[in-house]
Amino acid sequence: MPNPYLPNPAVIQRITDENEARDIKTFQVAFCDEKVRDTFRYTCGQFAELSLWGFGECPIGIASSPMDQGHLQFTVKRTGVVTSALHNCEEGATLGIRGPYGNGFPMQMMEGGNVVIVAGGFAFTTLRSLTNYILHPDNRRRFGDLAVIYGARSPGELIYKYDLEDWARRDDIQLHVTVDAGHEDWTGLVGYVPTILQEAAPSSQNAVAVVCGPPIMIRFSIPVLDKLGFPPSRILNSLEMRMKCGIGKCGRCNIGDKYVCKDGPVFTFEELQKMPREY
């Protein structure tokens, strides 16, 4: 019988500092087993359980695009026991990976239409996966307009700066990068994400919005999206929850009768409104 609790050994190929505070890093990893490496498939919005031997596991959204071959990327903020252990790793260190888990973004709902991505701070990870997926030449034609509104507290806290630079040069994406507070070298937008969203005013016609960020950002973005005409059934959110098994057995990530690891982490706002406020 396959044992879903056994992590697959993987090696850290590259570590990239993403922010000035140096508490957010992107880890590029590859499975040790060639067969797993070649057959591992996932969709945007899914997560994996990363095992740091001796410390435990943590659920991290997959930040690489499913179009990337042979490796996975995870962007992790140092917060507790496991993430600290991960941050202490060097390139070449091994860890374990279980997954992919979760429902991921509903690609069928988004294909054939426009996509508006609203992201704040560190929650950008799986949305970056989604953006790169959509922008890939094999996929771009299946989607309409793509708007990305992304903000961080300060310029130093923006992550994926290398992607942001690439995207800014493209004409098939409407990119709005903002910071809460700039500095003298910052020439980009300044303002909270909900404000910039309001100014950008992307059309809700045949569009789906994906919103991920700190609770306060979400709380103020929703009314803006509502005003723009996005119904709750076409606004998506990815929830975070304390998890252990990742496969709906250990019982701790439930919100009402939904398990965030299995029925989520992606939910529409319409679904969230029906769930108890316990997240």
Give the footprint of other proteins on this chain (CB under 8 A).
1-7, 9, 32, 51-58, 79-81, 83, 94-96, 240-242, 244-245, 247-252, 254-257, 262, 276, 278-279
Specify the residue, 96 or 144, whose C-beta has the smaller distance to other proteins: 96
Least distance to other proteins, CB of residue 56, Å: 5
Burial of 124 from C-beta contacts in 10 A (0-12 / 13-18 / 19+): buried
Give 30-48 as a 3 state SS string: EECCHHHHHHCCCCCCCEE
Shortest Å, Cβ 51 to other proteins? 8
Is the CA virtual torsion 212, 214, 217, 219 positive or negative?
A: positive
Q: What are phi and psi of 165, to 5 degrees?
A: -65, -45
**Residue 29 is inside which H or E element, if any?**
strand 24-31
CA 20 to chain CA centroid, nearest Å: 20
31/133 with CB nearer other proteins:
31
As measured in angstroms, the least distance from the Cβ of 77 to other proteins is: 9
Give whichever of 97 and 119 is closer to other proteins, judged by the CB atom.
Answer: 97
Question: Closer to other proteins at the Cβ: 57 or 176?
Answer: 57
CA–CA distance, 106 with 87 (Å, rounded to integer): 31
Nearer to other proteins, 180 or 240 (CB): 240
Whole-angstrom distance, CA of residue 244 vs CA of residue 207: 34
